[in-house]
Amino acid sequence: MREEIREQPEALERTLKREAPRIARLRSVLERNRPRFIVLVARGTSDNAAHFGRYLLEICTGIPCSLAAPSIFTVYCASPRLEEALVVGISQSGESTDTNMVIERARQLGALTVGITNESRSSLARLAEHLILVHAGRERSVAATKTYTGQLMALYLLAYALGAPIRMEDLERVPELATIALQTESEIAQLAVRYRFMNDAAVVGRGLNYSNALEFALKLIETCAIVADPFSSADFLHGPIAMVERSFPVFLFAPSGPTWEAMKQVLHKLAQRKADILLITDDSNREAPRLVSRTVRLELGMARRKLSPSDLYTPIPYIIPAQLFACSLAEEKGLDPDRPPGLSKVTKTV
């Protein structure tokens, strides 16, 4: 897992370089057949990436986007009206049974279909009309890391193909942000010692980083056997914050930009409850270190200032400290993060 976390900058670079011709062709197709709405279908870590895709695509393209409920197709055998829809299947292995069944059925119902996968010879690659490949190389650890960030990159490319105001030159800087995020590895290893006996936690994000809250919580569950509950900051304040007592661990993703005011409101309430707070942020958020003593502060500096001033490109670098934390904490607990008990790399559900 740790080796694969470290491979992410190169994997992101490969994905960008090798998929550029395919994305140019897809952009031409979508210019001629612009969808009225988008449906994303996935499971597990890929579903967390789909949550990111929903925010990204609606924010940047204005096209309504939803997450599929695969059981509508696989259990209830319903036939939603999908004319003029773009249906996107996301699967690391390309062998997620229900994801593939939705793609196959959506195509029969008249939708344009796209598959996002790490496996060019997979069932998903064969079933979808168009393909965006993640060039992460083989992922051996059960806990997905480089395929998750690769899927986020693929969704940026899909947004670009749909005419979003995303420049390829900006995406080419994202691997540099990932490299900077990896520089927190020794700091994260030291922080993990503090949480060795943690059994419960909450993870909070908002907007484009809500998917990272879902993914960080999943990694803590998979690798550390922790009961970790993910929330958007808005949902957290609508009731779940009641579970927070003194020293209860809460992890937050807090970039500067449009979501910061909402996250700051959560921080104030957590401070009143004397929670154990760990914040993932970067050096553009100068207010965060004054509010929270324990932060992982990415030194993105000039690299981020060359990009959007908002949080648009933060999700990939922000998840890397969380991945490192889950890996380090599993090791602190004497667990094997590569082989969580009872889990396998490919899970087939219907």
Model pLDDT for residues 124-166, shown as the tens digit of each residue? 999 999 999 999 999 999 999 999 999 999 999 999 999 999 9
Q: Catalogue the E-assigned strands of 65-177.
A: 65-67, 85-91, 112-117, 130-133
Residue 83 pLDDT more than 90? Answer: yes
pLDDT of 4: 98
b/e map 115-129, b = 16+ CB within 10 Å: bbbbbeebbbbebbe
pLDDT per position as a tens digit, 259-317: 999 999 999 999 999 999 999 999 999 999 899 989 999 998 767 667 776 899 999 99
d(CA 154, CA 326): 24
pLDDT per position as a tens digit, 85-132: 999 999 999 999 999 999 999 999 999 999 999 999 999 999 999 999
Which among 344, 349, 346 has a CA at the least distance from the CA of 94?
Answer: 346
Phi-psi region at 185: left, alpha or beta (left = phi > 0; alpha = psi -120 to 50): alpha
Q: Which amino acid is at 11?
A: A
Interval 216-238 mean pLDDT: 96
pLDDT of 341: 76
Provide the mean pLDDT of the chain.
94
Report residue 333 as tokens: 């607990």
pLDDT of 301: 78
Residue 32 pLDDT more than 70? Answer: yes
Which among 321, 278, 323 has a CA at the least distance from the CA of 299?
Answer: 321
pLDDT of 13: 98
pLDDT of 309: 66
Residue 344 pLDDT more than 70? Answer: no
Share of the chain above pLDDT 70, in %: 96
pLDDT of 348: 63
Domains of the chain in start order, with CATH, are 2-166 (3.40.50.10490), 176-332 (3.40.50.10490)
